[in-house]
Amino acid sequence: MRLILQRTSGAEVVIDGKVHSRTGRGLFILMGSKTGDSEQSCAFLADKAVNLRIFEDDAGRMNLSALDVGAEIMIVSQFTLYADTRKGRRPGFSEAMEPVEAKRLYDMFVERVAASELVVKTGIFGAKMDVRFNNDGPVTIILDHDL
């Protein structure tokens, strides 16, 4: 399972020209699953995401977590995180998990993050979305978990 975490001053997901969800200061998370990922990956990465110390303290050091700052979190599914671009010019997605199981793990990941009692918003799994966010810092962290 792979996450792209971006510290943000705000994010929104627009679907069919209408705002579906919006968050303030916090994290924007792209989440992708590959064949073989499991519930353990969801639990591990949800815990890591909300506890990773990537927010600045009073001294300007990244020393605070999403939990510490009461971050709002936007989570969007992103199968293209597993694009294979080693051959040719068109990416392949053979490593990406099939949609039914990927949605199950996405929903589980969202539930795990929401269990932190932070505000959690999402896109719609499989929908064409216009995703907008302001990367604060910029801070972008890639998290992988392979069992």
* Catalytic site positions: 78-80
Q: How many CB atoms lie within 10 A of CB 145?
A: 16
Sequence length of the chain is 147
Residues 6+ positions from 14 with CB-CB distance below 8 Å: 20, 129, 130, 131, 132
Give the Cα separation of 61 and 137 in Å (integer). 12
Amino acid at 128: K
